[in-house]
Amino acid sequence: MRFFLILSVIAAGFAAPAMAQEASLVKPGQTVLNISASERQTVQQDLLTASLRYETEGPDSAALQSKINALITKALEAGKKYKDVQVATDHYYVYPYDPNQQPHPDPEEKIEKHEKKPIVWRGNQGLNMKSKNSADLLKLLGELQAMGMQTNNLSYTLSPESFETVRDGLMESALTKLREKAERAAKALGKKEAELVEVNVDTAYPNYPVPMMARAEMAGQAMDMKYAAPTASPGDSEITLTVSARAVLK
């Protein structure tokens, strides 16, 4: 951990005009100490997340939706085998695609000679997964890829539970150092005690890492083919916490 300290002292009776109102709140013989400290800690990410989608197309919208529904149902059933993996459905989108609206490859060809193509229906639905049990999530991800789903994202992040635990520890450490610094300043100024007032805590949630690409060696396109599960390795997140306070030195 690295520690940064910023001090500014306002002595009663010697405040600048802009601080006159603040100084008026300080009793004679007291001093106000503005102090802040930052703590940083690097933590290994412990939550693996993944997002997938299934895309298909066909001439009939009803048949298309039935195909999507059947595969997503199968994917959700597969997810039930892994109790530590949370699986949730994402956006479901079906729309018509008119290939005749695309530019003709030969602008010189007369339009009446161009065969009109039928409307095509396209659709997709996504799944989101997350788990601290990375082995199970990766195994399930491989199964879903074998069913025909495509991986949009596979990445590690820090779970909210771990973030809260680390943040509380950093806060306690920063407050302890604030108290020690305030007492040291009081002693240096000939004061007997220091009281912290108006304490503020500011925590920056760690930045998410760049999504990792899943790696899988697929033997073919059959739904029941053997597959190799993707792999992923956790990175680190840096948590920064800043505590600021005013200390009255008496």
In a domain, 229, yes or no: no
Q: What are phi and psi of 78, to 5 degrees?
A: -65, -35
- Residues 113 and 165 occupy one common structural domain: no
What confidence tens digit (pLDDT) does each residue in 91-135 have? Answer: 999 999 888 776 666 656 555 556 788 889 999 999 999 999 999
What pLDDT sits at residue 144? Answer: 95
In a domain, 167, yes or no: yes
Q: Which residue range is the domain that position 115 belongs to?
A: 47-157
What pLDDT sits at residue 63? Answer: 95
CA distances to 83, 136, 138, 148, 214 from 224, in Å: 23, 19, 18, 10, 20
What pLDDT sits at residue 37? Answer: 84
What pLDDT sits at residue 35? Answer: 87
**Residue at token pair 């405040």:** 15
Q: Cα separation of 185 and 192, whole Å?
A: 10
Q: Please tell me the total count of domains within the chain.
A: 2
Out of 157, 175, 195, pick the residue that ends a domain. Answer: 157
- Residues 153 and 168 occupy one common structural domain: no
- Residues 171 and 192 occupy one common structural domain: yes
In a domain, 227, yes or no: no
- Residues 165 and 89 occupy one common structural domain: no
Q: Is the model's pLDDT at 46 over the cut of 70? A: yes
- Residues 130 and 63 occupy one common structural domain: yes
- Residues 34 and 116 occupy one common structural domain: no
- Residues 129 and 71 occupy one common structural domain: yes
In a domain, 230, yes or no: no
Out of 157, 172, 193, pick the residue that ends a domain. Answer: 157
In a domain, 84, yes or no: yes
Which value, to the nearest 10 degrees, does the dihedral of the CA atoms of residues 24, 28, 30, 35 take? Answer: 20
Q: Under a CB-based contact definition with an 8 Å cutoff, are residues 128 and 155 in contact?
A: no
On whether the pTM is more than 0.75, the answer is no
- Residues 133 and 120 occupy one common structural domain: yes
- Residues 31 and 53 occupy one common structural domain: no
In a domain, 217, yes or no: no
* Nearest of 71, 65, 7 to residue 37 by alpha carbon: 7
What pLDDT sits at residue 89? Answer: 95
Out of 157, 186, 216, pick the residue that ends a domain. Answer: 157
- Residues 70 and 153 occupy one common structural domain: yes
In a domain, 226, yes or no: no
Q: Under a CB-based contact definition with an 8 Å cutoff, are residues 237 and 157 in contact?
A: yes
Q: Cα separation of 176 and 247, whole Å?
A: 13
What confidence tens digit (pLDDT) does each residue in 70-85 have? Answer: 999 999 999 999 999 9
Q: What is the CATH number of the domain that holds 72?
A: 3.30.70.360
- Residues 110 and 193 occupy one common structural domain: no
- Residues 55 and 151 occupy one common structural domain: yes
What confidence tens digit (pLDDT) does each residue in 14-31 have? Answer: 344 444 445 455 788 788
In a domain, 234, yes or no: no
Q: Is 46 helix (H, G, I), strand (E, B) or coil?
A: coil
Q: Which helix (H) or strand (E) holds 141?
A: helix 134-147
